[in-house]
Structure 1
Amino acid sequence: MLRLGRGLRRLLSARGARASAGLPLGAEMPKKAGATNKGKSQEPERPPPSLGPVTVDPRGSVTIAIRAKPGSKQNAVTDVTAEAVSVAIAAPPSEGEANAELCRYLSKVLELRKSDVVLDKGGKSREKVVKLLASTTAEEILEKLKQQVEKK
């Protein structure tokens, strides 16, 4: 007697149910009369429009695309383009010093707690993504970054 695992038994019984209903493999069972799609929207969800380098991820956190320039004389936001925010960092690019300084500097510029600014991607690259854990809008963040460029 051949013993089948529970997952394999379920798969075979599902195929048998489709075959007995006259449905091809991969097709769904028909809906019952009067069944509705409660809670399911008819149109797919679209992410909010991006504001250049400042975007909102699917979970609702604001993210900033950064082009880091470590080893500079002083910390400064040097440019805001459609692709990234250029930030000069006064720390060497070794042992994560520049990453820590970047997060510290951005928290000061954006008037957030240091713990609300975390490096999301690009730990060993100049192209980085910083995630903001505080509740703020992308428009506010972009405005603060542009103000820093104008101060320079």
Structure 2
Amino acid sequence: MFTQTRSFRLTRTTLLQVLHLSNFIQKHLSLYFCRRLSSSSHRLEGPLAARRNYSGNHNMPKKDKTNKTVGLQKASEEPSPSGPVARNKNGVVTISVHAKPGSKQNAITDVSIEAVGVAIAAPPTDGEANAELVRYLSKVLELKRSEVVLDKGSRSREKIIKVTGSLTPEQVLDRLKQEASG
């Protein structure tokens, strides 16, 4: 019985040594062939040709420091300067929301120029707060639940809600302000 255990250990040790040696050989052979193929005397063809382009010295394009309005234009696309409710480039009404999950009850806390503050009575785990936010806003806006969709910010407090119903941005803003005041 002792000899069987010993032979198992020897086999296992030998196997580990062989695996280590094969990894060592594979690594060095791949380095050898990469160096050899990247030399100027050899031309690469086929799928390896694309790899050669990344091995040379390439300069990254410089940032354009003069055009600082690009980031500002993107930020102004979603909410318009008139408030948190706007139409996006596709004509869909969007609402910028600052969610406050884990509150005691659902409520619209404030309507500011940047976003609509909404307290949500659901924990921010497993999308429960997002589902409750969509349900609550559909109730406030008097729309079907399928007409109010979370567009962006599923894992953030700053969210963009799409309203695909037949309401104008002014009507949406009025209903949100009524709920906030009353």
Would you say the 8 A contact 2:81–2:113 is kept in 1? no
Q: Does 1:133 align with 2:164?
A: yes
- SS of residue in 1 equivalent to 2:143: coil
Q: Please name the residue that 1:57 is paired with.
A: 88
Q: Please name the residue that 1:84 is paired with.
A: 115
Deviations 1:28-84 (A, max 9, x none): xxxxxxxxxxxxxxxxxxx8x653000101111000000000000000000000000
TM-score, scaled to structure 1: 0.67
Unaligned runs of 5+ in 1: 1-46
Q: Please name the residue that 1:74 is paired with.
A: 105
Taking only aligned residues, the RMSD between alpha carbons, in angstroms, comes to 1.5
Question: Could you tell me the percent identity over the aligned residues?
Answer: 62
Matches for 1:112-123 after TM superposition, within 5 Å: 112-123=143-154
- Distance (whole Å) between structure 2 residues aligned to residue 119 and residue 89 of structure 1: 14
Deviations 1:69-127 (A, max 9, x none): 00000000000000000000000000000000000000000000000000000000000
Q: Which runs of 4+ in 1 moved over 6 A?
A: none
- Distance (whole Å) between structure 2 residues aligned to residue 134 and residue 60 of structure 1: 12
Would you say the 8 A contact 1:78–1:149 is kept in 2? yes
- Distance (whole Å) between structure 2 residues aligned to residue 70 and residue 51 of structure 1: 26
Name the amino acid aligned to 1:139. Answer: E
Flag the structure with higher helix content.
Answer: 2
Matches for 1:1-152 after TM superposition, within 5 Å: 50-151=81-182
Q: Please name the residue that 2:14 is paired with.
A: none
Instruction: Please tell me whether Structure 1 or Structure 2 has the larger radius of gyration of its CA atoms.
Output: 2
- Distance (whole Å) between structure 1 residues aligned to residue 81 and residue 112 of structure 2: 13
**Greater RCO, CA 8 A, separation 6+:** 1
Unaligned runs of 5+ in 2: 1-76
